[in-house]
Chains A and B, each alone.
Chain A
């Protein structure tokens, strides 16, 4: 994983997020003045849109959007900004997976890039959220950040988002699993995902530290 923070000029916060196969640009602007219909009396409204790499947004993107929204709203310090709006736009540049069958790599990249962009924009967050994708092969081996082929060959695929508090995965914010798996598999996946999230968190810290040091 590597992330280029403050990638864009015109928005308050942004990030170009690269994993070996998936690329997502995220932008965040806020708090800004909302349109009357978006305004919430006591908290920050979130305008979120996910755009696919090719073609126009479909129900598939609405679904990714819904999952990202659930994660982001649970970490936003929304009551700090009553009657304000935060615009979050996620543009997939490269899906890195077969788009008809999967959405897990994009979902994980969208969540992580969105968090980066929000941190860059200085929008208040009560914790971090980091997502990892785990593929479980037929022989039971679990691979974090699988490749396109590993996804195709997997028996089940899982995207897990952890809330990171004080540098450690604290609890599950979201889990999205498809395929064929047992109860023991779930625990194994959570375990692998947690290790992967810890690594991600270390990289995240490093990236953010580099940004803070520039100033």
Chain B
């Protein structure tokens, strides 16, 4: 007997505390968590992180809304709309700024578009995609150092741009500049007359403005404390921010309406009409008009196959030395709102859905390659996304 004992080598399985396992093998750690029915973040499979938003506080018009403040519009502040969104430990700061550009007319566009056509446009389902525009987003994911933008930042920016364009939320007509004219009255007072003000007709008719301008909106989206995919966070934050945008009114000085300038180069002369100097009204602004019913919110889902070998329950069975591995069907679980490195790196298949309050979809993005995407899982994520949208839409003031 004793010789036999000597020949026996005892094998101890190497074991690691959970936090170390999470670092050396994030995938296994994730699978272990999942087999117990919860995620590394201790959330349930279909549980979202809480979202809180703070809309418009960074905007230049914010002080005006505060009755206690005596301040005027912050002229150094160029933010037209903003949102600070917090989801879990991630902060997303979105600031929307704007500029004015001159339009080039395409002849197939109606040159004198009627104003009331615009209202129609907003309600009309069949309207043309070219009647809508997007904002130019720049996403910046804070990573503690400077450097050229990463692929993720570029891709997210482009996705935001495309999605907003195709969701038909921002009609071009609501970005049209309706310039007023600043006139100096006989008594020396300066007054700005806008097309929509009461006595505008006589003044406006005396200035024939040939050019057309539009606002362009830029969104700067900064993500702090990134823990996972950021598209849904950025999109939601952009939605809230966009809702709060106020467009400043713009005007032309009457003296600058017909300035001419002579240029000479290399023996040639020409008169160049000075481009009208369009100025923004520091005080007056109008809220932006959006196609309300298309406002939608994004959510992300990950799909992962459960690894039976990582199942802690199975592990104990195996320890009994019984090779009772049943050839069971692979079980795929759906995880809402991917968070953390383990989930992000191990989950190869994911679904991103942008949907509005009516349950219509504006964007659907599926990336496969990992767990197989079945119609059932797709339906499940769609159902979840509707809930989530309703939840997020409720936060709109």
Interface residues in chain A, defined as those with a beta carbon under 8 Å from any beta carbon in chain B: 59-60, 62-63, 66, 70-71, 73-74, 101, 103, 138, 152-153, 155-158, 161, 163, 171-183, 185-187
Interface residues in chain B, defined as those with a beta carbon under 8 Å from any beta carbon in chain A: 125-126, 128-130, 151, 154-155, 157-159, 162-163, 165-168, 294, 348, 359-370, 372-373, 375, 378-379, 382
- In contact, B151 and A62 (Cβ under 8 angstroms): yes
- In contact, A183 and B379 (Cβ under 8 angstroms): yes
Do A181 and B369 form a contact, CB below 8 Å, given A59-B155, A66-B151?
A: no
- In contact, B361 and A177 (Cβ under 8 angstroms): yes
Of A103, A176, A182, A187, which one neighbours B365 at CB under 8 angstroms? Answer: A176
Number of A-B contacts (CB under 8 A): 97
Residue of B nearest to A161 (CB): B368
- In contact, B362 and A163 (Cβ under 8 angstroms): no
- In contact, A174 and B375 (Cβ under 8 angstroms): no
- In contact, B361 and A186 (Cβ under 8 angstroms): yes
> Which of A163, A172, A173 neighbours the largest number of chain B CB atoms within 10 Å of its CB?
A172
13 contacts between A and B (CB under 8 A): A74-B348, A74-B368, A101-B130, A101-B166, A152-B129, A163-B368, A173-B369, A174-B367, A177-B364, A179-B166, A179-B362, A183-B361, A183-B379
- In contact, A180 and B360 (Cβ under 8 angstroms): yes
- In contact, B155 and A62 (Cβ under 8 angstroms): yes
A73 to B63, CA, bound (A): 51
Residue of A nearest to B361 (CB): A181
A102 to B367, CA, bound (A): 19
- In contact, A182 and B361 (Cβ under 8 angstroms): yes
Do A152 and B130 form a contact, CB below 8 Å, given A103-B162, A174-B366?
A: yes
Residues of chain A within 8 A of B162, CB atoms compared:
63, 103, 178
- In contact, B155 and A172 (Cβ under 8 angstroms): no
- In contact, B368 and A178 (Cβ under 8 angstroms): no
- In contact, B359 and A186 (Cβ under 8 angstroms): no
Do A63 and B362 form a contact, CB below 8 Å, given A152-B130, A171-B368, A180-B168?
A: no
A184 to B72, CA, bound (A): 51
A60 to B166, CA, bound (A): 15
Residue of A nearest to B386 (CB): A183
Q: How far is the CB of B282 from chain A (nearest CB, A)?
A: 33
Do A60 and B359 form a contact, CB below 8 Å, given A66-B151, A177-B365?
A: no
Q: A163-B368, A173-B368 provided; 6 other pairs, C-beta below 8 A?
A: A157-B166, A173-B369, A174-B368, A177-B365, A178-B362, A180-B360
Residues of chain B within 8 A of A138, CB atoms compared:
125-126
Of B128, B363, B367, B375, which one neighbours A152 at CB under 8 angstroms? Answer: B128
Residue of B nearest to A190 (CB): B375
- In contact, B158 and A175 (Cβ under 8 angstroms): no
Residue of B nearest to A100 (CB): B165
Residue of B nearest to A189 (CB): B364
A185 to B361, CA, bound (A): 10
Q: How far is the CB of B141 from chain A (nearest CB, A)?
A: 14
Of A161, A172, A181, which one neighbours B360 at CB under 8 angstroms? Answer: A181
A158 to B362, CA, bound (A): 11
- In contact, B361 and A171 (Cβ under 8 angstroms): no
Q: How far is the CB of B220 from chain A (nearest CB, A)?
A: 15
Of B294, B369, B382, which one neighbours A74 at CB under 8 angstroms? Answer: B369
Do A171 and B375 form a contact, CB below 8 Å, given A66-B151, A101-B130?
A: no
Q: How far is the CB of A82 from chain B (nearest CB, A)?
A: 19
Residues of chain B within 8 A of A71, CB atoms compared:
369
Do A187 and B375 form a contact, CB below 8 Å, given A180-B361, A180-B362?
A: yes
Residues of chain A within 8 A of B158, CB atoms compared:
59-60, 62-63
Residues of chain A within 8 A of B372, CB atoms compared:
171
- In contact, B126 and A171 (Cβ under 8 angstroms): no
Residues of chain B within 8 A of A179, CB atoms compared:
166-167, 362
Do A172 and B373 form a contact, CB below 8 Å, given A177-B364, A186-B364?
A: yes
> Which of B157, B168, B361, B368 neighbours the largest number of chain A CB atoms within 10 Å of its CB?
B368
Do A62 and B360 form a contact, CB below 8 Å, given A173-B368, A174-B367, A187-B375?
A: no
Residue of A nearest to B366 (CB): A175
Residues of chain B within 8 A of A173, CB atoms compared:
367-369
A171 to B373, CA, bound (A): 7
A158 to B361, CA, bound (A): 12
A171 to B365, CA, bound (A): 15
Residues of chain A within 8 A of B126, CB atoms compared:
138, 155
Q: How far is the CB of A155 from chain B (nearest CB, A)?
A: 8
Residues of chain A within 8 A of B359, CB atoms compared:
182-183
- In contact, B129 and A175 (Cβ under 8 angstroms): no
- In contact, A101 and B154 (Cβ under 8 angstroms): no
